[in-house]
Structure 1
Amino acid sequence: MSYLEYTVKHVPSGLSKLFYLNWALILLVTAVASIGFLMLYSVAGGSFDPWSMAQIKRFALGFTLMIFVAMVPIWYWRSVSIAAYLLGLALLIAVEYVGSVGMGAQRWIDLGFMRLQPSELMKIALVMALAAYYDWLPVKLKSRPLWVLLPVLLIMLPVYLVLTQPDLGTAILLVTVGGLIMFLAGVHWAYFAVVVTAGVGLVTAVLKSRGTPWQLLEDYQYRRIDTFIDPSSDPLGAGYHITQSKIALGSGGWTGRGFMQGTQSQLNFLPEKHTDFIFTTLAEELGFLGAASLLALYALIILFCIISALQQRDRFSSLLTLGLASNFFLYFAVNMSMVMGLAPVVGVPLPLVSYGGSAMLVLMIGFGLVQSAHVHRPR
């Protein structure tokens, strides 16, 4: 009996699958999203419009998609992994020709009822493709140079397309999550040592190239680096975001100023308060305890994903779950580091909390894949 035949005979079927969902994970995801609804209500001055109600509707749609994806057998998602990756690449290429421009970047495709950001879809598609690749590849070949080159190409193709938009934050996330999956799959550590060394060299080249004809980054990206090193150098310009963010974080104290009582957010000193900098709004109004509670919920989501991955019996499901958990971790780790001044400011939203359609729907689809692997594992 093949593994697939064994699996089909030992997994739930029909509506009974609903009982095998990881309901603890669903409750945690819903709790984090609910915090987002409250904070969007707060930054709108006590109104569900224009952000909170729209976010609730997106979460409802995303929740439906999550359950639908969870009900589909995990081996089906494995079979379409490469197709999903190719679709993601096609959409990234389409952005170059028909993408809409916002805030100086061309990252979205206008569908009429919403603006789709293909780079968000690629975060899921890349994880699926790499998990399928290492599930197919014999273990003894995983560290052979030729077989290491192929996943590197799978990672670098979308990274190049995302960088041309430009979207440095998402490109960094794609490289990092791709590297993590290769590491989790068991690729030899020497390759990662080479990458780290090359990364140090690349950072040096980036800094040295500034102001030359072969400048590697855009001027605004260099300004972000300057702001990261010394926000006070331009407190009313490039350093304004992080300066106001630190004021909001510091003024929250242990218990915060109170719900809807934050001066930086309510008086509009804090820019992008409903998207990238919503964590500072939460920290100002709910204090250290509120921020730590959100971080604890995030940590529990990661923990439940890891536990689920350890219970899988096939390589694809395990790598997929760990890859999606890593992707989720990078989302909130980069966002929180950014708003606290521990990392340069990049356009990475706070997962399930920041206002945004593409990020919300893609995250919920990702959790649907985690649930599909959890429900359809052999018992």
Structure 2
Amino acid sequence: MSDNRFHPLRLLRAFLRPIDPVLALIMAVLFGYAFVLMSSASPERLDSQTMHFVIAVVVMWCAAAIPGQRLLSLALPLYLLGVVLLIGVALFGEVSKGAQRWLDIGITRIQPSELMKIAMPMMLAWFFQQREGRIGWREFIFAGLLLAVPVALIVRQPDLGTSLLVAAAGFYVIFFAGLSWKLIAPVVIVGSLGIGSIVAFGDSLCQPGVEWVGIREYQKHRVCTLLDPTQDPLGKGFHIIQSTIAIGSGGVLGKGWMAGTQTHLAFLPERHTDFIFAVLAEEFGLGGAAVLLVVYLLLILRGFQIAAMAPTLGTRLLAGAVTMIFFTYAFVNMGMVSGILPVVGVPLPFISYGGTALVTLCLGVGILMSIRRSRLANKS
């Protein structure tokens, strides 16, 4: 006779089955960091950010519960949907702060470029899996075209930060699929020479009236401000100057929680979003920042471990690319807050205020959990 009684433990096991305990522990630490920093930087936003956390965790669990191969089967429709929505933004999108990034779909406004951060690597991973064993230069060219379409549409909005993240996510898949270093090296060399030229001749290149080919005026100002923020200390250089002051003044152990002067005297701009790392460095010092770096490193190592053990080519490529997305977010945010990269509006992953980026990143964590679960299912 079967036992149909309700078993809470059985229900709990079913709920926890998709969850990777290592990733779950790492996420708990990152959410703890976020809660502590948000309580200091912007306590009035803590309730709404808590709701964002709840939504993001639900999305993460849903993604983790879907088998990895089934996730890849959604790649093509998600990619096509994202491209169509980006075209809709170009034709009918709402303009806000000089950028056309939002699309009103009646019940709410959406930012389709965020969808492409995950849809792009999924699409390319699915594509290379379909061509497994036959990957040659034609496949790499076609993959490059698939990547170029959404990136061009996002650049047009303009949204340099998101376009770089989408381009990086797609490039990681192409690289892991076997792109030759002979093709990458020339691009790296040309880019290094370009950066070196800007640094060496920045004084003349940043003069008013000097146009940079293929670069918008506001993007030129961002680079020139990075080279010398003191040229406009109360304008475009204000963010970098104040964030570096906050980071430097924190010392080794910091000034203490909720005791940061740059933060609480309102000198630090965007302290709850893009510049929340400066809040961390000011209040918890080098020690607190180092612990966060270790947590990010553990997240990346776990992601690569899952990628290395993934059962198929597509899931390996997707897991590797998603892991590198986490690295890119953290590296770019910390770089721009520290004054070594231009300010491009990239949040600190899992910690900065905001729902869209948090949900996107937690979706990535859910994808890693799904791929890890698929490997365990194949072994059994």
Aligned residue-pair number: 360
Secondary structure (helix, strand or coil) at the match of 1:273 reads coil
CA root-mean-square deviation: 2.4
Residue of structure 1 in register with 2:253 after alignment: 255
Question: C-alpha separation between the residues in 1 aligned to 2:325 and 2:309?
Answer: 20
Shift in Å, 1:100: 3.2
Which residue among 353, 356, 366 is the counterpart of 1:355?
353
Residue of structure 2 in register with 1:9 after alignment: none
Shift in Å, 1:195: 3.2
**1:305–1:325 CA contact under 8 A, matched in 2:** yes
**1:246–1:339 CA contact under 8 A, matched in 2:** yes
Question: C-alpha separation between the residues in 2 aligned to 1:112 and 1:361?
Answer: 21
Residue of structure 2 in register with 1:104 after alignment: 98
Which residue among 224, 227, 230 is the counterpart of 1:229?
227
Q: 1:365 to 1:211 in 2, by over 3 A?
A: same
> Superposed, which structure 2 residues align to 1:300-311 within 5 Å?
300-311=298-309
One-letter code of the match for 1:186? G
**2:172–2:320 CA contact under 8 A, matched in 1:** no
Q: 1:145 to 1:205 in 2, by over 3 A?
A: farther
Secondary structure (helix, strand or coil) at the match of 1:172 reads helix
TM-score, normalised relative to structure 2 = 0.88
Question: C-alpha separation between the residues in 1 aligned to 2:81 and 2:75?
Answer: 10
Pairing 1:149–2:147 present: no
Shift in Å, 1:20: 5.3
Higher alpha-carbon deviation: 353-362 or 102-111: 102-111
One-letter code of the match for 2:278? T
Which residue among 273, 276, 290 is the counterpart of 2:274?
276
> Superposed, which structure 2 residues align to 1:17-56 within 5 Å?
18-19=16-17, 21-44=19-42, 47=43, 49=44, 51-56=45-50
One-letter code of the match for 2:187? V
Higher alpha-carbon deviation: 174-183 or 113-122: 113-122
Residue of structure 2 in register with 1:138 after alignment: 132
Higher alpha-carbon deviation: 294-303 or 18-27: 18-27
Q: 1:202 to 1:159 in 2, by over 3 A?
A: farther
> Superposed, which structure 2 residues align to 1:295-374 within 5 Å?
295-374=293-372
Give deviations 1:52-75, integer Å, cap 9, x for gaps. Answer: 211111111111111111111111
Give deviations 1:6-43, integer Å, cap 9, x for gaps. Answer: xxxxxxxx965733531110121122122112212211
TM-score, normalised relative to structure 1 = 0.88
Residue of structure 1 in register with 2:169 after alignment: 177
> Superposed, which structure 2 residues align to 1:138-217 within 5 Å?
138-139=132-133, 141-142=134-135, 144-197=136-189, 199=191, 211=209, 215-217=213-215
Identity across matched positions, percent: 41
Secondary structure (helix, strand or coil) at the match of 1:83 reads helix
One-letter code of the match for 2:147? I
One-letter code of the match for 1:77? L
One-letter code of the match for 2:127? Y
